[in-house]
A and B are shown apart, each in its own frame.
Chain A
Amino acid sequence: MKIFFLKQRLATLLFIGCVVYGSSCVAHSVGSLLDAAGTNASATDLYQITCYDDGGGNPDYLFMQIQDASTPAPGLIMSVQAYFDTTKIMTNNTDPVSGDANASTGAQLWGGRGIYYLSVSKTAAGARLYNVTIHCWSVSGGSHTGTDVNTLQLQ
């Protein structure tokens, strides 16, 4: 019942996001309920992001920002990581306050065109509802550019 309720909240959150941000929410954000049973401190979600030139310009970096939509719990903090395999670089970004209206500060990983791996983790056991905004960005084009998302692992 609790899981059902949380999934309803996630659906509502994503719906509101779609209304606010229009079609970009479909392709440029990912969200899920991580560790639905609330017992897996190691739970990690994993996505593959492909940055490519869709006419917006050659990609320079992947932008990411995470928002933990769950109520605060002591010692339970959510983070998002991005890894670019071609040049083997990685960065991390944390939402320091759960459940408020603010997402984490944005972070960028400057890998250029290619495949990025984006993961979502937390610091303790407990169900967490999250939303991650992602954009492949072209500096030369001055705009958002091609961004495809493939889900690899949901825990």
Chain B
Amino acid sequence: MKNLSLKKVLMMIALLATLVHAASTFAYPNATVLMDAAGTNANATDLGQVNCDASSTRLYAMIQDQSAPVSGLLLSLHIFSGIHMTTATDSVSGDINPSPIIWIDNGPGPYYISATKTAAGLRLFTVTFQCADSNNTLTGTSVIGIQGQ
């Protein structure tokens, strides 16, 4: 009986872990992009515009480099809006951890998010982004792709 209860508890924990992982993976708007497919363009830059609903205060974003590590080749994400800009870098490529989360406060925006890298080389990455209000309640978020290189 005790073993059965333990099994139930373990199954519940596993289920919750799955749900939490799924939520963290899929709940927020995101885009997965292949950058510098030919592997020859160190200046390659991808650019998108994020629009937030009128009640929004800020935009959060992070980047995850899914490609295998290459020495000297790191991916960064920039958010800029108005006269402010910030940057986050995924310091370890190919692992399960994204960059730190960055944000800019500029109301409904628009916000521009761009991905850059430090050397030539193909990179597959995912950018996750989310608008929020002053209480960090999620608000409507939409994106328009502008430039893909």
A residues with a Cβ closer than 8 A to B are: 41-44, 46, 48, 75, 77, 79, 81, 83, 88-94, 96, 105, 107, 117, 119, 121-124, 152-153
Complex CA distance for A94 and B43, rounded to whole angstroms: 8
The answer to whether A119 and B83 touch across the interface, beta carbons within 8 angstroms, is no
Complex CA distance for A92 and B76, rounded to whole angstroms: 11
The answer to whether B43 and A75 touch across the interface, beta carbons within 8 angstroms, is no
> Across chains A and B, which 6 residue pairs bring their CB atoms closest together, nearest first?
A92-B116, A121-B87, A123-B89, A152-B83, A94-B118, A44-B85
Smallest CB gap from B47: residue in A = A90
Q: In the complex, which residues 56-80 of chain B have their Cβ closer than 8 Å to any Cβ of chain A? A: 72, 74, 76, 78, 80
User: Interface of chain B, helix or strand or loop or mixed?
Assistant: strand
Given A41-B88, A107-B43, A152-B83, verify A90-B74 contact (CB < 8 Å).
Answer: no
Given A92-B116, A92-B117, A96-B119, verify A75-B91 contact (CB < 8 Å).
Answer: yes
Least distance between B120 CB and chain A CB atoms (Å): 10
Smallest CB gap from A42: residue in B = B86
Given A41-B100, A123-B118, A153-B85, verify A79-B76 contact (CB < 8 Å).
Answer: yes
B residues with a Cβ closer than 8 A to A are: 42-45, 47, 49, 72, 74, 76, 78, 80, 83-89, 91, 100, 102, 112, 114, 116-119, 146-147
User: Interface of chain A, helix or strand or loop or mixed?
Assistant: strand
Smallest CB gap from A104: residue in B = B42
Least distance between B129 CB and chain A CB atoms (Å): 15
Smallest CB gap from A150: residue in B = B83
Which residue, of A46, A83, A96, A122, has the highest number of chain B Cβ atoms within 10 A?
A: A83
Q: Which residues of A contact B85 (CB under 8 A)?
A: 44, 46, 117, 119, 153
Given A44-B87, A123-B74, verify A92-B43 contact (CB < 8 Å).
Answer: yes
The answer to whether A119 and B118 touch across the interface, beta carbons within 8 angstroms, is no
The answer to whether A93 and B72 touch across the interface, beta carbons within 8 angstroms, is no
Q: Which residues of B contact A77 (CB under 8 A)?
A: 72, 74, 118
Which residue, of B47, B88, B89, B114, has the highest number of chain A Cβ atoms within 10 A?
A: B89
